[in-house]
Amino acid sequence: MELIKQGAEAKIYLADFEEYFGADLLPGERVVVKHRIPKRYRIKEIDEKLRKERTVREARVLHRAKEFGVNCPYVYEVNLRDMIIVMEFINGERLKEHLENVSMEERLSLCREIGRQIGRLHEAGIVHGDLTTSNMILREGEVYLIDFGLADFDSTLEARGVDLHLLRRAMESTHYTWFEEGFKAVLEGYGGVLGEKARREIEEKIEEIESRGRYRERGWLKA
C-alpha cells in the first residue's frame, strides 16, 4: 500500500483491490484505505469510542449519499476492529486545477453540476463539512465529491447554509478572479435539484451567516 495523505485524524493509503482483498474480483481496480489512527493523548476507551463512531458515521454517510444519487466513492469494507474504511478510488483530475484551465463557459457548467451534487447531498440530509474544489474530482465528465471525514447527518437550514458558505469562501480564496459568477452558478444548480424556494432560503441564510461574521470581525477590531 502507498501512503498518499496523512491528516490529524487518519492515514490514507492507495492499494490494488486484489492486493488488499486477496481476490481479483475487480481487475485493475484500486481502492482507498482510510485508517483512523489512535490518539495517545486521549483515554484509550474514549479514543476507541470516538474513532468507531466517526468510522461508522462516514460509512453511513457515503451509503446514504449514494442512495440519493450523489457522485461519491462506493464503500467496499468497514473494519471496526482497526477503524478502517476501504472505498472506491476516484481516479480523475481535481477541480481545483481543472477549473483554472478551461473556458468560462465550461467553468460555469461545472459549477452548476457542483451545485446539483450538493443539492442531492443536502436532500439526503447530509452536510459535507469541507466543501472545496480540492475535494471534488472530475472523472469522465462527471463531478465527484470526496473526503467525507467531516460529513454529518444534519438537515437544518443553518447547517446547509454553513456548508455552502464555506464553499463560497474556499472559491473566493482559490478562484478569486471569477468566484462570484462561479458561486452564482453553484446556486443555480442547487436550486435545480431542490427548487427555487430552497435556493432563495439558502441564499438568505448564507448572507445572514456572512453578516454575522462581519459583525464579529468589526466587534473584534473595536475591542
Residue 220 above 50 pLDDT?
no
Rounded average pLDDT over 129-136: 96
CA distance 31 to 15: 5
Residue 35 above 50 pLDDT?
yes
Give the lowest-confidence range in 33-47, 81-95, 108-122. Answer: 33-47
Domains 2-88 and 93-222 equal at CATH topology level: no
Residue 213 above 80 pLDDT?
no
Q: Could you tell me the pTM of the whole model?
A: 0.90
Residue 215 above 70 pLDDT?
no
User: ∠ at Cα 114 (87, 157), nearest 5°?
Assistant: 95
CA distance 120 to 126: 9
Which is the catalytic residue, given 16, 82, 130, 163?
Answer: 130
Which fold is adopted by the domain 2-88?
Phosphorylase Kinase; domain 1 (3.30.200)
What residue segments make up the domains of the chain, in order of their start? 2-88, 93-222
User: ∠ at Cα 57 (209, 30), nearest 5°?
Assistant: 110
Tell me what the pLDDT averaged over the chain comes to.
92
Check if 130 is active-site: yes
Domain 93-222 belongs to what architecture? Orthogonal Bundle (1.10)
* pLDDT band at 26; cut points 50, 70, 90: low
